[in-house]
Amino acid sequence: MSYQHRAADGRDLELPLGKVVCIGRNYADHALELNNPIPKEPILFIKPATSVVSMEHPFRIPTDKGAVHFETEMAILIGETLRNANEQKAMHAIAGIGLGLDMTLREVQDQLKQKGQPWEKSKCFDGACPLSVFLSPASVNDLTDVQIRLTVNDEVRQDGNSAQMLTPVLKLLAYASQWFTLEPGDVVLTGTPAGVGPVQPGDQLRVELVDLLRVDTSVL
């Protein structure tokens, strides 16, 4: 099933699917739970468009490459070109706010990290980035106070707030644009709170921006 950016009211958004820019270790508690140092500046990596699927539909995970972990994140849809931008320009470039799952082959990632190699094989497989529909920017009053929650089989596994981000959203967008251009249709995943862990086929997931957006989905 082909992916198209969609608004929370069901409309297709007239934006192409671009790259997905991810922020590593943007919550201190998450860095610590994986025994990683807390970074002094944002860690950037990219998932390709081929990794994106709709979160509203059940999605598949690899079953032959070791443990697959969920990482729940607030997703920012870019609507205007950002290059060497400041925070004000970044704010005006936000076309939508939603949810993303940064699915990770954790054992593969650990092996790559031990060898000092890039993470792509663990982060970029087909289906590695389920994305939700997107809320209008006006519907989110404060990007620095959004509760992000994941429930797996009726058990809350992640429950954090964007106030805990080491680098807040607008600074993240501005920072990323200093290194490469963000284009309309790109998505920025802003980091995951503590509590990441494995999922299995058959698991039922509820992914939330609490009081703003909720997606019930499942793993195939």
- Each domain of the chain, given as residue ranges in start order, spans 20-218
What is the per-residue pLDDT for 33?
Answer: 75
Single-letter residue type at 160: G
3-state secondary structure of 162: helix
What is the per-residue pLDDT for 28?
Answer: 80
Taking phi over 0 as left and psi of -120 to 50 as alpha, with beta for the rest, 116 belongs to left
Query: How far, in Å, CA of 154 to CA of 22, rounded?
Result: 27
Q: Decide: pTM greater than 0.85.
A: yes
What is the per-residue pLDDT for 36?
Answer: 75
Q: Which CATH topology does 20-218 take? A: Fumarylacetoacetate hydrolase; domain 2 (3.90.850)
Beta bridge partners of 206: 151, 216
Extract the tokens encoding 67: 């443990």
Q: Where are the beta strands (DSSP E) in the chain?
A: 20-24, 43-47, 52-54, 68-70, 72-78, 94-101, 104-105, 129-131, 147-152, 155-161, 187-189, 197-198, 204-209, 213-218
Query: How far, in Å, CA of 102 to CA of 31, rounded?
Result: 15
Tens-place pLDDT, residues 18-76: 999 999 999 988 767 777 788 899 999 999 999 999 999 999 999 999 999 999 999 99
Extract the tokens encoding 77: 């849809």
Tens-place pLDDT, residues 130-187: 999 999 999 999 999 999 999 999 999 999 999 999 999 999 999 999 999 999 999 9
What is the per-residue pLDDT for 31?
Answer: 61
- Tokens 């950037």 belong to which residue? 44
* Overall average pLDDT of the 3-24 stretch: 97
Tens-place pLDDT, residues 62-120: 999 999 999 999 999 999 999 999 999 999 999 999 999 999 999 999 999 999 999 99
Q: Are 16 and 184 in contact (CB under 8 A)?
A: yes
